[in-house]
């Protein structure tokens, strides 16, 4: 699950509410929720930040940028979660598999390819970004606010993915059943999926 001893239920009402909310929406308690239960205030702040970043941003573009960042960060947890959203809401499993392995060969339009290129660079080597990188997005029709939204999506993913991987949080076992085997393999960029739910 993770390298940390995470809080048990029945000790704190706020933690119990977090765990109950996951059971209601996911069917079990996510490993990331167990980790953030060590600091529910930080988790609440993360939820507000994440919602704010998504607000006003096209969801498909957000998910493409997030997947590109997760891939660059080698975050299996975030890759599986956001690859699942792309599969459920926007693309078939084969397309998402291509997005995960080489987005340039996935049939995206040039603007989407540029967004994923840029988001990956933000996540993996932000100091190397140049004015030309931003100009490339402008050439594909993105306004400066939209460029900044891509930056925010990728940078926010850096926080969440890094926290989870630094404490050894494994992607939830439910991904073994909910994601097709070949897509699951393509989205497992780093840490392997948990063997079983707790």
Q: Is residue 40 part of a domain?
A: no
Q: Is residue 110 part of a domain?
A: yes
Q: Is residue 177 part of a domain?
A: yes
178's enclosing H/E stretch is helix 175-178
- Confidence (pTM): 0.94
| Most distant CA pair in the chain, distance | 55
Over the stretch 147-184, which tens digit does the pLDDT of each residue have? 999 999 999 999 999 999 999 999 999 999 999 999 99
Q: Is residue 183 part of a domain?
A: yes
What is the span of the domain harbouring residue 132? 58-187
CB atoms near residue 197 (< 10 Å): 14
Position 12 scores a pLDDT of 85
Q: Is residue 90 part of a domain?
A: yes
Alpha helices (H) in 13-130, listed in sequence order:
13-26, 31-36, 40-54, 59-73, 76-89, 93-102, 110-125
Q: Is residue 64 part of a domain?
A: yes
Q: Is residue 16 part of a domain?
A: no
Q: Domain count of the chain?
A: 1
Q: Is residue 197 part of a domain?
A: no
Band of pLDDT at residue 36, cut at 50, 70 and 90: very high
Over the stretch 1-18, which tens digit does the pLDDT of each residue have? 889 999 888 778 999 999
The three-point CA angle 82-165-22 to 5° equals 55
Band of pLDDT at residue 34, cut at 50, 70 and 90: very high
Q: Give the domain CATH number at 68.
A: 1.20.1290.10
């Amino acid at each position: 699950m993770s390298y940390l001893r995470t809080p048990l239920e029945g000790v704190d009402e706020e933690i119990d509410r977090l765990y109950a909310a996951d059971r209601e929406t996911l069917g079990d308690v996510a490993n990331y929720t167990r980790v953030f239960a060590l600091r529910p205030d930080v988790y609440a702040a993360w939820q507000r930040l994440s919602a704010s970043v998504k607000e006003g941003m096209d969801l498909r573009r957000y998910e493409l940028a997030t997947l590109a960042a997760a891939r660059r960060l080698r975050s299996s947890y975030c890759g599986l979660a956001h690859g699942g959203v792309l599969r459920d809401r926007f693309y078939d499993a084969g397309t998402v598999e291509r997005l995960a392995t080489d987005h340039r060969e996935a049939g995206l339009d040039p603007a989407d390819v540029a967004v994923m290129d840029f988001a990956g660079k933000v996540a993996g080597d932000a100091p190397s970004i140049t004015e030309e990188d931003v100009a490339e997005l402008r050439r594909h029709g993105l306004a400066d606010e939209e460029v900044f939204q891509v930056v925010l999506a990728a940078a926010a993913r850096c926080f969440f993915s890094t926290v989870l991987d630094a404490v050894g949080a494994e992607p939830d076992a439910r991904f073994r059943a909910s994601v097709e085997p070949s897509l699951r393999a393509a989205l497992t960029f780093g840490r392997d999926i948990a063997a079983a739910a707790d």
